[in-house]
């Protein structure tokens, strides 16, 4: 798994940024976690991260996750992050990703991916370009699907879509109306101050 974090370490000086180095264990004994961090950097976006194979596999979602199954959100695959990044909040003063980060939502995830009626491991689903997970968070609940697409000829582009289930809500827009951290109650603006 150390190789999975090579790009993460290459892009940042964790001593200066205050971000986790990835040398700690992180993770949870209760099963795999997900985290969505609201990241106000050169532009505001949401970092959608799923624990897969010992790291947080990550996508940048400019508009944030939607609870409306009609919405297809662009999710651009970024470098894997260490598990101890899951509770990182703070201000990155300079360098890659400079800006503020809060934990917008977090909880456990459940793999719902199947192939030919049989469960498919998340590592295999990721490699195959389609995965489906149930999220058990405070703002996000129910199933979400991520599908690899080469929109615009960009191999890093995926689509994030809410599955139409009991967690779906066409009216509630948490990405717009609930900017605060589920851990600290702070917003990105609070960290700027």
How does strand 130-136 pair with strand 99-111? antiparallel
Q: Has residue 25 been placed in a domain?
A: no
Q: For the chain, what is the mean pLDDT?
A: 90
Q: Has residue 120 been placed in a domain?
A: yes
Q: 95-128: per-residue pLDDT in tens?
A: 778 899 999 999 999 999 999 999 999 999 999 9
Q: Is the pLDDT of residue 25 over 80?
A: no
Closest-CA residue to 144 (of 64, 38, 41, 62): 64
CA 115 – CA 130 distance, rounded (Å): 10
Q: 64-94: per-residue pLDDT in tens?
A: 999 999 999 999 999 999 999 999 999 988 7
Q: Has residue 26 been placed in a domain?
A: no
Cβ 106 vs Cβ 34: under 8 Å: yes
Neighbours of 155 (CB within 10 A): 9
Q: Has residue 62 been placed in a domain?
A: yes
Cβ 36 vs Cβ 104: under 8 Å: yes
Q: Show the domain range for 45.
A: 3-20+33-192
Q: Has residue 27 been placed in a domain?
A: no
- In the chain, how many domains are there? 1
What pLDDT is stored for residue 1 in this prediction? Answer: 40
In Å, what is the CA distance from 109 to each residue of 97, 122, 142? 26, 11, 9
DSSP H or E stretch at residue 100: strand 99-111
Report the pLDDT averaged over residues 50-68: 96
Q: 31-53: per-residue pLDDT in tens?
A: 799 999 999 999 999 999 999 99
Q: Has residue 187 been placed in a domain?
A: yes
Model confidence at 15, pLDDT cuts 50, 70, 90, reads: low
Q: Has residue 166 been placed in a domain?
A: yes
């Amino acid at each position: 798994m150390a190789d999975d974090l090579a790009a993460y370490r290459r892009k940042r000086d964790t001593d200066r940024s205050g971000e986790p180095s990835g040398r700690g264990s992180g993770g949870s004994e209760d099963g795999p976690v997900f985290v969505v961090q609201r990241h106000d950097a050169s532009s505001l976006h949401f970092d959608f991260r799923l624990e897969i194979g010992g790291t947080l596999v990550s996508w940048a979602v400019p508009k944030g996750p939607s609870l409306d199954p009609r919405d297809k959100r662009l999710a651009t695959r970024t470098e894997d992050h260490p598990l101890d990044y899951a509770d990182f909040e703070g201000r990155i003063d300079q360098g890659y990703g400079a800006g503020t980060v809060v934990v917008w939502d977090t909880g456990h995830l459940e793999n719902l991916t199947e192939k030919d009626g049989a469960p498919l491991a998340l590592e295999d689903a990721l490699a195959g370009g389609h995965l489906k997970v149930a999220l058990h968070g405070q703002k996000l609940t129910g199933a979400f699907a991520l599908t690899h697409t080469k929109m615009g000829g960009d191999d890093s582009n995926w689509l994030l879509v809410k599955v139409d289930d009991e967690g779906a809500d066409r009216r509630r827009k948490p990405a717009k109306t609930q900017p605060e951290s589920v851990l600290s109650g702070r917003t990105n603006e609070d960290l700027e101050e």
